[in-house]
Amino acid sequence: MTDEPAAGFETSLLFDIFALNQAVGLLLAETMRDGPLTPSEYAVYSAIFELEAASPTQLAARLGMRLTTFVDHLRAIERRGHARRLPHPTDRRSYRVVLNAAGLEAHRAANAKFERAHAAFEAELGREAAAAKSALQVVRSAANRATVALMGGSAMDPAMNAVPALPLSRRRSVGRGG
């Protein structure tokens, strides 16, 4: 496997990001293969874990996905018996999502596998990790703004107006009840 594009081919930044997504997906898929959660599921569980009790809109924004996509993930998590809904303190039409004890256990077990991938990845990045993270935050913000601009600046799905990406579940899931 090579990091360089084929000789004579210039690629767009969007293509390079797509290829990066595929490479990271492969790293996580291989490392988490025998775990209780897929990398995508782990990301969703991690957002719920990190925000502790957040609305679906907040969680979708955290993950950079459409609200409808997050709700599809949430239905699967609820079918597994890994999450519960709490009343929203200020919006009776909404609710907050938390992982229950079974969800926390699945997250904890997946976290152990994720940490192996993360450690190997950080070791390869070395001292460039902070600069890479900063650059990715700039890229995510640009993608969010470009989406809004292409939609005519209209009020769109609030989940698309996401805050810059932060690392998911670097905090260990040990010792939290649910």
- Which range of 3-7, 94-98, 144-148, 158-162 scores highest in mean pLDDT? It is 94-98
* 42 part of a folded domain: yes
Total Cβ atoms within 10 A of residue 162: 19
Q: What is the pTM of this model?
A: 0.80
- Indicate whether 120 pLDDT > 60: yes
In a domain, 23, yes or no: yes
Residue 4 lies in a domain: no
pLDDT attached to residue 65: 93
- Asked if the model's pLDDT at residue 6 lies above 90, the reply is no
CA distance 36 to 43: 13
**In whole angstroms, what is the distance from residue 76 CA to residue 113 CA?**
21
Share of the chain above pLDDT 90, in %: 76
Q: What pLDDT is stored for residue 143 in this prediction? A: 92
Query: Has residue 80 been placed in a domain?
Result: yes
pLDDT in tens, 104-119: 999 999 999 999 999 9
Report how far residue 165's alpha carbon sits from residue 68's, in angstroms, rounded to the nearest whole number. 20
Please compute the mean of the pLDDT values over residues 63-88 and round it to a whole number. 96
Does residue 172 sit within a domain? no
Sign of torsion over alpha carbons 114, 115, 120, 126: positive
- Is the pLDDT at 38 greater than 90? The verdict is yes
pLDDT of amino acid 160: 45
* 20 domain-assigned: yes
115 located within any domain = yes
pLDDT of residue 34 exceeding 70, the answer is: yes
**CA quadruple 56, 61, 67, 69: dihedral sign:** negative
Q: What is the pLDDT of residue 12?
A: 94
Q: Mean pLDDT, the chain, as a whole number?
A: 86
Q: What is the extent of the structural domain holding 21?
A: 15-160
Q: Is the pLDDT of residue 166 over 60?
A: no
Look up the CATH number of the domain holding residue 91.
1.10.10.10
Domain count, the chain: 1
pLDDT number for residue 177: 37
Looking at the domain assignment, is residue 7 inside a domain?
A: no
Angle of helix 39-51 relative to helix 101-125, nearest 10 degrees, comes to 110
